[in-house]
Structure 1
Amino acid sequence: MQGPLYKQEQDLRNRILLRPIGLPDHGWEMDDHKAWHFVAVENEQVIGCVILVPLEEGQSQLKQMAVETMFQSKGIGRLLITALLRFAKKQQLAAIVCHAQDTAIPFYVKNGFEIYGEPFVEVGVPHHPMRITL
């Protein structure tokens, strides 16, 4: 399961996603063993990542998307989403869902996702359920 870039992916997720909201390092790796991992690499360093966790009935959940701070707003997230969607279509998945923080909603909307359902709080942070049908 663990490729040569996994430790860098873990470090990026810890620094960008978990520590800023007070969660312990490695606190959200419970799905890593069954997820597909996508990473963006520059000069042999992981600068972006996202995982896709299989669910039931042809759906998967996009989770743990992170981009190195100095590379944010430079199209890395869009490239990761594009690769993830291309892969999901090849796997013949019907839909991808995600839990988006308020600040991430415009990014996901630009990439074809839509809000469905009611907002909720996850790990102390407001989120909205989002999905894209493939």
Structure 2
Amino acid sequence: MISIQLINTTNSLYLLEQDLRNHILLRPIGVPDHAWEMHDKKAWHFVAVENDVVIGCVVLNPLNPEKTKTQLMQMAVETNQQGKGIGKLLVKELLSFCMSNGIKEVVCHARDNAVPFYLILGFEIYDEPFVEVGIPHEHMRISIAD
């Protein structure tokens, strides 16, 4: 059974989340481990856990002092678990958290191959495409209804 848990950097699952982010997102593109953790202490971390193993994660970083605008970052699902709906579970839990906590907007920098995933979940493309860490990306966002 897969559970989605909200954790912080003091939770023992955080180390497993870091490892997942490093081997799924960073190492394949030549970025050093832990290179995208600058916001981790102030962010909310959602992890998909099965049998005490983190098989998916996403980070929600507040972008303003009021914490009404946030950025979805570092979305990763274990390679052998992709295509099973774990990413959707993570984002739906994240959006539910936003609704319950007065967050009005979530933005993300979506890799080109992830754009269809976010479109299905209700995100929209805005602004111009850009390149980040050598990969084409789109600016995407979703507004959270009251």
Q: Secondary structure in 2 aligned to 1:117?
A: strand
Offset of residue 4 of structure 1: 1.1
- Whole-Å separation in 2 of the counterparts to 1:88 and 1:122: 26
CA RMSD in angstroms, aligned pairs only:
0.8
- Whole-Å separation in 2 of the counterparts to 1:122 and 1:32: 19
Offset of residue 94 of structure 1: 0.8
User: What runs of 5+ residues in structure 1 fail to find an aligned partner?
Assistant: none
- Whole-Å separation in 1 of the counterparts to 2:25 and 2:98: 24
- Whole-Å separation in 2 of the counterparts to 1:77 and 1:95: 19
Q: TM-score, normalization: structure 2? A: 0.90
20, 29, 33: which is aligned to 1:12? Answer: 20
Other-structure match for 2:109: 99
User: Deviation above 3 Å: which 4+ runs of structure 1?
Assistant: none
Other-structure match for 1:121: 131
Other-structure match for 2:142: 132
Q: TM-score, normalization: structure 1? A: 0.98
Offset of residue 89 of structure 1: 0.8
Number of aligned positions between the proteins: 134
Other-structure match for 1:84: 94
Offset of residue 123 of structure 1: 1.1
Q: Secondary structure in 1 aligned to 2:127?
A: coil
Offset of residue 53 of structure 1: 0.3
- Whole-Å separation in 1 of the counterparts to 2:22 and 2:10: 17
Identity across aligned pairs (percent)? 63
**Structure 2 residue 146 is the aligned partner of structure 1 residue 112:** no
Other-structure match for 1:23: 31
Offset of residue 2 of structure 1: 1.8
